[in-house]
Structure 1
Amino acid sequence: MAFWMWNAAKEPWGSIVESPLQSADLENAPDAGFEIEYSFIGNSWNEFSTVIFRKQNAEIIYRTIYSMCDDFAYKGDSIYDDFVLRRSDYAGDTSQWNNLDDKRISIVEELKRKIEEYEIEYSWVNSSSFPYTILYGDPVIVSLKNFKSRTRKELVLKNSSEAGVHKAIAIEKLMRKAWPAREAFTKLTEEEVIQNCWEAQKNQPHPRFKEFIL
């Protein structure tokens, strides 16, 4: 009976969105095999960094996008709902495509396989019961564009280690391993970013979190 009740109490953790690729995606990358894109927020929400990995013929190349000082937004009904982080524009997109080093090629290839195989996991943890600071601080979103099958798969994972969902945890670890060094995004140190953003925002009214909703 206890096992049945535990099983019945489990809830789906995160979400999966699958859709066909748009014609613009296919036109912009005619020779690509796949593309993986994801972002991380750092420095108390002062930095928003994105990396894009692309399989181009026999090589994997990558580029970075960097925004700071609230040059991004999220949208969703509430911080406890399935919100999705989105960069507001490509204003910080100054990076050219670069060849990925051999050490990380296998990591990106494995990440692709894990995303393709991933199905919703279940946990007894209810995401709405998590403290505001936990959910607000570490959302994980990763998307895979498969140009051969012409499909896109996006995973939205929230604090998987807290929920004990092992396949999601494995994906997050691979995302961290594949992440480029800080110099690929900006030459500024974390301390310089904090100071610059403080100077830019000290005379501006700080909006409540719901005012970030698009």
Structure 2
Amino acid sequence: MASRGGSSAKSQSLVLDSEKGELVKAPVRVAKKNVSEAKAKLALKNHSEAERRRRQRINAHLATLRDLVPSTDKMDKATLLAEVINQVKVQKKTALESIRGLLIPLDSEELTVETCDDIYQHATVSFRASLCCKYRPDLFADLRQAVSSLGTMKLMKAEISTLEDWLKIVFLFTSCRDEPRSAHGILSSSIYRSLSSVLDKAPASLEYSPKVAPSRKRQKVS
């Protein structure tokens, strides 16, 4: 029965009364139960569909990985991932070794100093220094000052290569003094410190820049 206050009665679901053979209003609890079951079925369906799509993406990625590694038909997922990671490491090592003798700048700051065989007959010891960094207007002035500060060390050769705004410079230093072998490490450290001071000088244009400084990888081999 509708109320006389002008407000409509709450809607209720209709069910078939088997005894009367007609539609009657369903109890409120039965209606709520039907709605809850419908929502649960819909949620389960959505979850199943999302899980199906997720598995499809995983299988597609696994298929791509299997194409990268030979003889992977009988590998489980964990073994496949481990093999792919190992292959990536091997490929990376191979790539680095292939360009080791080439004058190609890297995309990170790097400085190495190592003792070389006596390239020049008049020299008692030679050092090869490799420096990689980004170009800046005052870079060469700083390098000139660093080389001049080495004192007894003489710069015999310098090679420069560029890639976009990155530079790689290889220096060859010699010492004409009769230095004992025990002093070779001291000379190597001196070269390293001088060139390292160049990397430590941030460009003036970057002093107020919010950008993160480039990664640095410095090694010293005496």
Q: Which category describes the TM-score, using the shorter chain as reference length?
A: under 0.3
TM-score by length of 2: 0.23
TM-score by length of 1: 0.24
Bigger proportion of residues as strand: 1
Bigger proportion of residues as helix: 2
Rg comparison, structure with higher value: 2
